[in-house]
Amino acid sequence: MPARTGAELLAGLRDDREIWVGDERVRDIAGHPEFAGAAKGLAAVFDLQYAAAEDCLYPDPETGEPINVSHMAPRSKEDIQRRHRGLARIAEHTVGVMGRTPDYMNVTYAGFAACSHEWAEHGNEAGAERLVEYQKLLRRKDICLTHTLIHPTIDKATDEPLRTDNDAVLRKVGDTEHGIIVRGARILATLAPFSDEIAVYPGRPLPEGGEKFALSFCIPMSAPRMRFFCRDSVASGPNRFDHPLSSRFDEQDAFVIFDDVEVPRDRVFIDGNIDVYNQVMTRSWNPNVMQQTMIRAQTKLEFAWGLATAMAEAIGDRSPQSQQMLGELWSYAQLAASAVRAAEDHPADYGNGVLFPDQAPFSALRAIMPTWMPRANEIIKLLGSHNLLATPSWGLMQNPDLRPLFDHYLRGAKDTTAERRVRLFRLAWDYAGSALANRVELYERFYLTSGARNQQRAQMLANRDRATRLLDRFLKEPID
C-alpha cells in the first residue's frame, strides 16, 4: 500500500479507541470540536506527501511503492540529504509547531530496523526480527504512531532508581497463548487521539531486578482496556485569521493507562530483557532522530525570526534594542542550520552500511534548544508588547461600521494596512502567548528530557582531545 492521503488517515480514526477529554469519552475524533482542527491539520500533513511528492516520497526498497522518505535508512550522504528535504517540507508545513508529526516516529523506527543488530544482542534475536517485520508494516501501511516512554512520577524522593515494587509503572503481569498482558501507566503520548498505533520503547535505564518493566511493543490505539486521558484542549475555533496556529496544530498530549492489555507476541520487541532494554537507545537512535527534530526546531526558529522582523517593520520599530533582539533570534536560527549541516556533512557508520549524521552538533543543539525556544517566545513578546492585544477578530474586521475605524487606528508604519498588522500580531500571539504557545513552550523544554539533563549528557559524551591538547601545552611545557 502506498503512502496514505489525509482522508485515509481520518477514516482510520473511526474505531473503538478510548480517548477522554474533559469529562467526556470522545467517539468521533475528527468531528469533535476540540480535536477537529488538529485532525484536519494532521490530514494536511498526509496530503502533503503527494503535493510535494518529489521531496516527501521515495520507493519502498522491497515493493517499489511510494512511501514517505522519513522511513528511509540512509546509506550515503545523498540519502541523508534526500531525507533532509522531505523532513524540511513537513517541518515547514507546521512551521515546527507540531513536534510529533508522524515523521518523528517513522525516522525512529527506520533507525531501529536498520540497526536491528543493536536489538538482537543479549539473546534478543527474535524480538529484533519482529521489530524489522513491524517496521515494514509501519512504512507500507503508513501507520501514524504515538509513543510513550516516561514512567509516572509518584514520589521523586523514592522513584529513582525505579523500585521493583512500584505498581504504577507499566509492567508485564502475565503471558497468554498469543502474547503478554501489561498493566500500569506511562506518560505522555503526544498525538495520541490522532494516531493509529502506540509505541512503547525504552526511556531511562532500568535497575537490576526490573525485568518486568523491560518492555517494548507497538499496538493499535483501539486495543481493549487501553485508556487515554487528554489534557485540556488548547485548540481554538476554526477561524485561521483569529487563531492561525491553534486552529490546526494542537497535537494533544495524553497520559496512558494500560489496564491489563494483551499485546500480541508478534508485536513484542523486548520482553524482560534488561540488557537490551538499557542499550538500544544509547547508540544510533540519537544521531538518527535528531536529524528530524533539529530540522523541525531550526525551521521553527527561522519562522520566529521572520515573524519578529515583520512585526518590528509593521510598527516601524528600528530601535537598537529591538534590532539587537532580532539579531539574537537570527543567530539561533543560523547556528541551528549550521549545526544540522555540520552533522549531516560528517556522518558515521552504525553498521549494516547505515549512515547517520554526526552526533556532536546534535548533542549541542539538544542541550541548548530548551533555552533558545523560550527565549524566542520572550523576544516576540518583548517586541510585540501591548500591540499583541490590539487585534480585532475577523468577524469584527468584517463589520462595515467598524472596519473604517480599524483601518484608521490600527494601521501600521509606512504602507502597512490594519489587516496585515492585525494578522501579524495575532500570529505572534498564537506563536508566543496563547494557550497553545504555552503548551508548545513546555514541549520544547521537556520533549527530549530537560535541558539540564541534556547539558549533563552533552558534557558526558563530549570529545576532549583538542581541548586537552590546548590545555596540556600550558600545563606540560618546561617552566623556564
CB of 447 to ligand FAD, least distance (A): 5
Break the chain down into helix, strand, coil percent, rounded to 5.
Answer: 50, 15, 35
Q: Is 175 exposed, middle or buried (0-12, 13-18, 19+ CB in 10 A)?
A: exposed
Give the closest residue to 3 by CA, choosing from 36, 73, 52: 52
d(CA 181, CA 173): 6
CB of 107 to ligand FAD, least distance (A): 14
> Taking the CB of residue 279, how many other CB atoms lie within 10 A of it?
17
Decide whether 147 or 421 has the Cβ nearer to ligand FAD.
147
CB of 449 to ligand FAD, least distance (A): 4
Burial 427-463 (b: 16+ CB within 10 A, else e): bbbbbbbbebbebbbebbbebbbebeebbebbeeeee
The full length of the chain comes to: 480
CB of 204 to ligand FAD, least distance (A): 8
Decide whether 51 or 452 has the Cβ nearer to ligand FAD.
452
CB of 185 to ligand FAD, least distance (A): 12
d(CA 85, CA 72): 12
d(CA 477, CA 53): 60
CB of 235 to ligand FAD, least distance (A): 15
Decide whether 251 or 344 has the Cβ nearer to ligand FAD.
251
Decide whether 94 or 387 has the Cβ nearer to ligand FAD.
94
Decide whether 382 or 462 has the Cβ nearer to ligand FAD.
462
Binding stretches for ligand FAD (CB under 6 A): 100, 147-150, 188-190, 253, 439, 442-443, 446-447, 449-450, 452-453, 456
CB of 374 to ligand FAD, least distance (A): 12
CB of 27 to ligand FAD, least distance (A): 23
> Residue 72 has which C-alpha cell?
528511509
CB of 202 to ligand FAD, least distance (A): 10
**Alpha helical stretches, state H, 142-215:** 156-159
CA 98 from centre of chain: 7
Give the closest residue to 426 by CA, choosing from 395, 378, 398, 388: 388
Decide whether 394 or 446 has the Cβ nearer to ligand FAD.
446
Is residue 252 within 8 Å of 194, Cβ to Cβ? yes
Is residue 169 within 8 Å of 89, Cβ to Cβ? no
Decide whether 121 or 159 has the Cβ nearer to ligand FAD.
159
Helix axes 285-314, 418-432, angle to 10 degrees: 150
CB of 234 to ligand FAD, least distance (A): 11
Decide whether 341 or 457 has the Cβ nearer to ligand FAD.
457
Decide whether 284 or 454 has the Cβ nearer to ligand FAD.
454
Backbone angles phi, psi at 181, to 5 degrees: -110, 130
The DSSP call for residue 4 is P
d(CA 10, CA 31): 10
The DSSP call for residue 207 is P
Decide whether 393 or 449 has the Cβ nearer to ligand FAD.
449
Decide whether 269 or 447 has the Cβ nearer to ligand FAD.
447
Is residue 46 within 8 Å of 9, Cβ to Cβ? yes
CB of 178 to ligand FAD, least distance (A): 27
d(CA 106, CA 218): 13
d(CA 80, CA 77): 5
In the chain, the amino acid numbered 328 is E
Q: What is the dihedral of CA 120, 125, 127, 130, to 10 degrees?
A: 110
Decide whether 100 or 267 has the Cβ nearer to ligand FAD.
100
CB of 250 to ligand FAD, least distance (A): 11
d(CA 474, CA 480): 12
